[in-house]
Structure 1
Amino acid sequence: MGAERDILPDEKPTMQEKSQSSRPASGAAKINIARRIDLTTLRLFIAICEEGNLTRASQREAIAPSAVSKRMHDLEEMLEVALFERHPNGMALTPAGESLLHHARVTLLNVEKIAVDMAEHARGVRGHVRMLANLSSIVEFLPDDLPGFFRAHELVRLDLQERPSADVVRGVEEGVAEIGICSADVSTRGLERFAYRRDRLVIVVRTDHPLAGATDVSFADTLDYDHVGLFATSSIYLRSHYTAQQIGKSIRLRVHVPGFDAVCRMVQAGMGIGLIPDRAFEVLSHGMNLTAIELTDDWADRELVLVARDPAGLSATSQLMLEHLRSPGRPH
């Protein structure tokens, strides 16, 4: 990590201390820990992890290195575990340190959310929903689904971020958002999931392309042509790449692009053919001299799902949003 060595007090614990550090804390000790850990110490711990060096972390946080060292020593003593391995060229996290880093980041993120929520309530906002969603749901369905919710709840604010489906699941697990929308193809692990919408993938071509006259086509038959692909972590690209491998072929990929509109523009420019959802094509392709061909493969019929860690534990506002998006009265 850092070039200089970071030395903390009691750098080499005795065998007895190591043995003691492996014993689980009692119930009373756990309560005491919860009361004694402060946000400044967690922030300093994260800084050391990110900077890889105690001295640089102390400079970043404008705190004397000796004070940072003392806080880390006290933190390890309180938790009864070693958080760092000390090496001649720096410090490395132990497994316990890796675990604490995750919890520290989530804790500070939640504190930031408190500040944002309180500031919004001071301005008259009566609720805040954080949602992660994949590109398909943002382009195809949320523009139709959200206006009705906000007509009924005018003082609610939505923080909506676009992420690949796998990152949606990860973000909801880590508490970045309360609700997520992702492809049903990805593993949602321990999250609760609910049906949301369905779409179907189509092949987008220029009207002068050799495939333009076809009413439908298998994905295998498209592999003889150049492709414009979505970003490499998108569920659509991963699924098409896997299918090509199963067939024993490869995709003749000319370019990766970040969104459905970029796929259409590149296809229009003659860079190849594209694979996008049918609803996205309807929304984005007007006036572009493109046509969509139905894909016959079963996997082209896709399901999008809503995910949440604990629906019953959501804030009242987030529960309202989840119920709205699950509502059978919502137009399909």
Structure 2
Amino acid sequence: MVFVLRRLFQAAFLVVVMSVLVFAGLYAIGNPADILIDPDATQAERARLIAQLGLDRPFHEQYFVFVGNVLAGDFGTSFVYNRPALGLILERMPATLELAFAAIVLAVGIGLPLGIYAGLAPTSAAGRGIMAGSILGFSVPNFWQAIVLIMVFSVMLGWLPVSGRGEVGEFLGIRSSLFTLDGLRHIALPAINLAIGHMALVIRLARSGYLEVQSQDFVRFARAKGLRERRIVLVHILRNILIPIVTVVGMSLGGLIAFAVVTESIFAWPGMGKLIIDSIRLLDRPVVVAYLIVVVMIFIVINLLVDLLYSLIDPRIRLDGGSR
């Protein structure tokens, strides 16, 4: 309980600092009125619109008005769309969440067994090939990788569509493109593009963790007892290499949600990434600040869940700093 309260206090402080920095940065970049108001508008019309948007007040007043509205549950109204900023973000969030979920499932589902196999046979041709592929996955720029995927699987082979979310299905009240065949075809390329770099990291972590754990005494004892190698790997070794992988998966999930901007832009995926790019370009301050607050809260929740998951994977870990 002490750990959770401490993390909640840190989270509140982090959100305040972030909101001040972002608000000040957007205030310093320029005046949204210069972009949003027609250059042919009269001075009276310009003054009226600036006052209507609250841009005629000094920075500190604008910020405290924003904070007061946020505490009341109002993140402001978009200058561009004239709709609640939080509503715009939540409207786009499901598409981003399903893309991040699909990417992390691919990264772990493929990267973990490949990494363990590379640890089982580190000197084999397959093991060396897996590690070479992981280095390539780290090195290739995300945007170039996306272009190659589009050229191969969409233009040359014609197997997969290149843009859009596809048909959306519903299961247990949840609407997602993951529930339809057309949706899976549309999400395949952007999910693969997002997953490759994280898959490479999971491969390297799993391989290094396996090589470190397999020489420890409890593994030797399990082999001396005559346990099958499959059981040793899946029960004894896997559990001990999961902690760093859980950390990476947690951080990767937050990163995928926050920084899928390039992939969403290239594949025209209707998620939060394209919205935030357009909002930054148009200096739509309420949307940008609300987006970053939502993303920071997602990171905080994921990190808290990862810390709590540690104690389930390894009961020796105490989050309150005590010992058993």
Same fold per superposition (TM over 0.5): no
Higher strand share: 1
Q: Which has the higher contact order (CA 8 A, sep 6+)?
A: 2
Larger radius of gyration: 1
Q: TM-score range by the shorter chain?
A: under 0.3
Higher helix share: 2
